């Protein structure tokens, strides 16, 4: 794409929003587009096609990616960048290379001055008194924040259907889910409602939506990006990461938000690698690519299996060395994840008690604090959140702790050992990201286990803390699917290098990037203005 | 396969401070059984000799200088409270009958 990019071309709003984030940045630096123009182009497109996530889905064919649109602030930041650039001088020279390029933020990452709900009634109307570190870094670099995107409540789910406010549609097929939990961020990026966005990945919540929407999603090494200000689900698994249309854009965004943060005690002190340089890619010749022999073939859609095999053959043809690696513990990883995650979540979500902030429900006729807590949490949490809290409380309770939580932590050790052995033989590991393409809305909401199985291939990376990335592989039955790359811990640069090379191979084979093939969007319902206005407690 | 009774779920819900309707208790016990049936495989996956991992990338002794920094003012801290009085969070009675 970049080969044919003319920074001076005259572009309409529809063409502007289809540029990559790095192309937008180049035009801003060249002065051929202003940040206000760029932000306004996205806001207009949101107004036309995003609809209103809080409206009845039956009457709204919009994408419904945004829970809150941050119009005034985004335009103000854009105008600031434009003014600095127009004035020239040292301040203009010191602008971040991405300054003025808009970005969207998943709504479980706290932001001052606009709501943060985690898609839960529990936090409806709440305003954070502080910014997450990643948000502070976006502000420092002067990236206008377009708004906050929809998710499964507290990031618990794989389809964004568990949002307390409403569903988000897959831009490729409005009757299908965009994946989850970060379906809003992925759908916004795929639908050109934002060039890139932040997500959070606990078991695949950035990578699976990327696979479902034909975009790129990255879970960095655990600790490579600060979690300060991410509303915690499972603290030993949660990781903030970028969603974008290209590997290079994802790298550029991780470069902005990553690096050590003293406010997160699990943050790595490593010197930051040059991810933007890494995302220029590498020669596939000599790249050692591991293919896991232990993933259950029958769980994967035949079209995805066939697509995966074709890409493996193409990699081999391009000079990559394909090595079969055995990861026998992957079999138990899903079970371990669905014990560790709810256990940690049950503890993390204890803070939502109706005392210091958020929702409070007082039972009829008053009540003790215990009764108020019980009523508050009954009304504030949705069914999936309650399910995970109860499951976690069970797994941690006396008499069951060793059998469940303890065993799961041992499986975690085995998964790490599997990866360590595999990475002695290979540079990266390649799997399909999700077993199926995007499924229909409502298809999996009745049986939690069918939804959980979706995370089969993405969970091991979270358990081991290693970085993983979903790159679009192609289209099956009119829907995109993803290829997942994984690299050893702290080797995010290697992941971006290999990811960019794989992305280029896929584009060569298809004659263009997967995301460019997304169909035209339908019109959305008009957004009710009151529902998205900051301030005022619900 | 582990059996999860309705009484057990009721106890767990009380521990977790979530009031549940009869219908929720019934659904939840069925859901938990289904999930536990699947995840119980972890018990056979690892032997006694395996050391549990609590954190994917172990860091030790993460300290900072012991100086106050980054604090909220009292006003900011109370700004989003459901109820407050005299600069403090206000909560309902802790004990019954007070």
pLDDT bucket at B97, cuts 50 / 70 / 90: low
Chain B residues touching residue A223 (CB < 8 angstroms) = 57, 59
CB pairs under 8 A between A and B: 190
Alpha-carbon gap, residue A514 to A517, rounded angstroms: 6
- Non-local (6+) Cβ contacts of A99 within 8 A are A25, A28, A35, A81, A84, A85, A141, A142, A143
A366 is a domain residue: no
For the stretch A378-392, what's the b/e string if a residue is b when 16 or more beta carbons lie within 10 angstroms of its beta carbon? bebbbebbbbbbbbb
Tell which wins on pLDDT, A23 or B2: A23
Residue B1 pLDDT: 61
What is the enclosing helix (H) or strand (E) of A66? strand A66-69
Q: Which of A285, A267, A270 is nearest to A222 (CA)?
A: A267
Residue A155 lies in a domain: yes
For the segment A236-292, what is each residue's pLDDT rounded down to a tens digit?
999 999 999 999 999 999 999 999 999 999 999 998 899 999 999 999 999 999 999
Q: Is residue B9 part of a domain?
A: yes
Question: What does the alpha-carbon distance between residue A481 and residue A487 come to, in Å, rounded to a whole number?
Answer: 20
Residues from chain B contacting residue A403 (CB–CB below 8 Å): 43
The token pair at A478 is 């009119």
CATH number of the domain at B4, please. 1.10.20.60
Q: How far is B71 from chain A (nearest CA, A)?
A: 10
Residue B31 lies inside a defined structural domain of this protein: yes
Distance of alpha carbon A11 from alpha carbon B71, whole angstroms: 47
Asked, for residue A479, whether it belongs to a domain, the answer is yes
Instruction: Let me know if residue A174 belongs to a domain.
Output: yes
pLDDT of residue A77: 98
Per-residue confidence at B93, pLDDT binned at 50, 70, 90?
confident
Which are the catalytic amino acids of A?
A: 106, 181, 205
Residue B56 has its nearest CB partner, among A262, A332, A464, at A464
Q: What is the average pLDDT across B40-50?
A: 91
Residue A538 pLDDT level (bands cut at 50, 70, 90): very low
SS (H, E, C) A232-264: CCCCCCCCEEEEECCHHHHHHHHHHHECCCCCC
Number of domains observed in the structure of chain A: 1
CB within 8 Å: A374 and B18: yes
Residue A532 domain-assigned (yes or no): no
What whole-number percentage of chain A has pLDDT above 90? 92
User: What is the DSSP code string of A436-488?
Assistant: SSPPBTTSSSS-HHHHHGGGTTTHHHHHHT--EEEEEEEEETTEEEEEEEE--
User: Is the pLDDT confidence value at A323 over 80?
Assistant: yes
Evaluate whether residue B68 is within a structural domain. no
Asked if the Cβ–Cβ distance from A404 to B42 is below 8 Å, we say: yes
Q: List the domain range (segments joined by +) for residue B38.
A: 1-45
Which member of A332, A350, A353 has the closest CB to residue B42?
A: A332
**Contact (CB<8Å) A265/B51:** no
Which residue of chain B has the CA closest to A465?
B56
**pTM for the complete prediction?**
0.96
Looking at the complex, does the CB of residue A465 fall below 8 Å from at least one CB of chain B? yes
| pLDDT at position A402 over 80 | yes
**Cβ separation B53–A409 shorter than 8 A:** yes
What local confidence, expressed as pLDDT, does residue A534 receive? 41
Looking at residue A143, which CATH number applies to its domain? 3.90.1300.10
Range A347-352 average pLDDT? 97
Output the pLDDT for position A325. Answer: 98
Residue A324: in which H helix or E strand, if any?
Answer: strand A321-325
Residue A35 lies in a domain: yes
Record: contact A413-B80, CB cut-off 8 A: no
Q: ipTM surpassing 0.90, yes or no?
A: yes
Chain A partners within 8 Å of B83 (Cβ): 360
Q: In chain B, how many domains are there? A: 1
Any domain includes A93: yes
CA distance A430 to chain B (A): 21
The average confidence (pLDDT) of chain B is 90
**A270–chain B nearest CA distance, Å:** 12
Q: Is B20 a member of any domain?
A: yes
Quick one: which H or E segment has residue A325?
strand A321-325
pLDDT at residue number A269: 92
- Checking if the pLDDT of A210 tops 70, the result is yes
> What's the pLDDT score for residue A307?
97
Cβ separation A386–B95 shorter than 8 A: no
- Whether residue A416 and residue B53 make contact (CB cut-off 8 A), yes or no, is yes
Residue ranges of the alpha helices (H) in A364-406?
Answer: 369-380, 383-396
Residue A1 has pLDDT above 50, yes or no: no
Residue B39 to residue A339, Cβ atoms within 8 A: yes
CB contact under 8 A, A355 and B89: yes
Residue B31 is predicted with a pLDDT of 93
In chain B, which residues have their Cβ closer than 8 Å to the Cβ of A394? 4, 8, 12, 32, 36
User: Pick from B9, B55, B79: which is nearest to A129 by CB?
Assistant: B79
Residue B59's pLDDT band, with cuts at 50, 70 and 90, is confident
How sure is the predictor about B96, in pLDDT bands with cuts at 50, 70 and 90? confident
- Structural domain for A225, as ranges: 24-281+439-519
Query: For residue B3, what pLDDT is reported?
Result: 85
- pLDDT at A535 > cutoff 70: no
| pLDDT exceeds cutoff 70 at A537 | no
Identity of the residue in A236, A338, A360 whose CB atom sits nearest the CB atom of B35: A338
How do residues A7-61 score in pLDDT, each as one tens digit? Answer: 999 999 999 999 999 999 999 999 999 999 999 999 999 999 999 999 999 999 9
Residue at A248 is within a domain: yes
Which residue on chain A is closest to B88 by alpha carbon?
Answer: A356
What's the whole-number mean pLDDT along residues A511-517? Answer: 93
Mean per-residue pLDDT, A324-351: 96
Q: Which of B3, B6, B7, B17 to mutate to test the interface with A (most CBs of A within 10 A)?
A: B17
**Nearest C-alpha in A relative to B20:** A378
CA A149, chain centre distance (Å) = 10
> Is B91 in contact with A369 (Cβ distance < 8 A)?
yes
Partner-chain residue, chosen from B13, B54, B57, that has the shortest CB–CB distance to A390: B13
């Amino acid at each position: 794409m970049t080969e044919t990019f003319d920074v001076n071309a005259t572009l309409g709003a529809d063409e502007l929003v289809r540029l990559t984030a790095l192309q937008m940045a180049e035009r801003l630096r060249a002065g051929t587009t202003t940040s206000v123009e760029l932000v306004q182009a996205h806001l207009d497109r949101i107004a036309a096609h995003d609809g209103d996530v809080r409206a009845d889905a039956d009457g709204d064919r919009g994408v419904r990616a945004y829970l809150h649109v941050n119009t005034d602030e985004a335009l103000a930041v854009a105008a600031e960048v434009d003014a600095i650039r127009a004035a020239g001088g040292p301040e203009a020279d010191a602008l971040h290379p991405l300054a003025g390029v808009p970005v969207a933020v998943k709504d479980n990452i706290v932001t001052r001055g606009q709501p943060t709900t985690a898609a839960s009634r529990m936090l409806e109307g709440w305003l954070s008194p502080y910014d997450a570190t990643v948000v502070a870094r976006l502000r420092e670099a002067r990236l206008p924040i377009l708004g906050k995107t929809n998710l499964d409540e507290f990031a618990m789910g794989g389809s964004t259907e568990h949002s307390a406010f409403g569903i988000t549609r897959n831009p490729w097929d409005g009757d299908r889910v965009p994946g989850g939990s970060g379906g809003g961020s992925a759908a916004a990026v795929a639908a050109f409602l934002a060039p890139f966005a932040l997500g959070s990945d606990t078991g695949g919540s950035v990578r699976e939506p990327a696979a479902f929407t034909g975009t790129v999603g990255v879970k960095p090494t655990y600790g490579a990006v600060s979690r300060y200000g991410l509303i915690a689900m499972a603290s030993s698994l949660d990781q903030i990461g970028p969603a974008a249309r290209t590997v290079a854009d994802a790298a550029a965004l991780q470069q902005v938000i990553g690096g050590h943060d003293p406010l997160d005690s699990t943050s790595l002190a490593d010197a930051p690698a040059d991810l933007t340089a890494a995302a220029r890619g590498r020669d596939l010749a000599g790249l050692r690519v591991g293919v896991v022999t232990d993933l259950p073939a029958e769980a994967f859609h035949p079209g995805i299996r066939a697509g995966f095999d074709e890409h493996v053959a193409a990699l081999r043809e391009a000079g990559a060395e394909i090595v079969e690696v055995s990861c026998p513990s992957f079999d138990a990883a899903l079970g371990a994840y669905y014990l560790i995650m709810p256990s940690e979540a049950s503890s993390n979500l204890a803070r939502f008690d109706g005392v210091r902030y958020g929702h409070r429900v007082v039972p009829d006729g008053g009540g003790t604090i215990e009764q108020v807590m019980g009523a508050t949490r009954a009304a504030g949490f949705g069914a999936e959140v309650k399910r995970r809290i109860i499951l976690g409380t069970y797994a941690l309770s006396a008499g069951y702790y060793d059998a469940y939580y303890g065993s799961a932590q041992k499986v975690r050790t085995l998964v790490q050992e599997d990866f360590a052995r595999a990475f002695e033989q290979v540079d990266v590991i390649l799997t399909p990201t999700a077993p199926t393409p995007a499924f229909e809305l409502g298809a999996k909401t009745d049986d939690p286990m069918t939804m959980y199985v979706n995370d089969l291939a993405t969970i091991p990376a979270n358990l081991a803390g290693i970085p993983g990335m979903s790159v679009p592989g192609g289209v099956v039955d009119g829907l995109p699917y993803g290829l997942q790359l994984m690299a050893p811990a702290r080797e995010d640069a290697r992941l971006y290098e290999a990811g960019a090379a794989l992305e280029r191979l896929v584009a060569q084979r298809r004659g263009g990037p997967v995301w460019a093939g997304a169909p035209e969007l339908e019109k959305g319902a008009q957004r009710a203005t009151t529902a998205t206005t900051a301030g005022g407690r619900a | 396969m582990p059996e999860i009774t309705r009484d057990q779920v009721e106890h767990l819900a009380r521990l977790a401070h979530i009031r549940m309707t009869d219908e929720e208790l019934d659904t939840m016990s069925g859901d938990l059984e289904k999930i536990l049936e699947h995840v119980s495989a972890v018990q056979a996956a690892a032997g006694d000799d395996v050391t549990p991992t609590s954190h994917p990338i172990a860091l030790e002794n993460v300290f900072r200088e012991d100086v106050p920094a980054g604090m909220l003012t009292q006003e900011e801290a109370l700004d989003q409270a459901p109820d407050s009085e005299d600069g403090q969070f206000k909560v309902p009675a802790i004990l019954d009958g007070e």
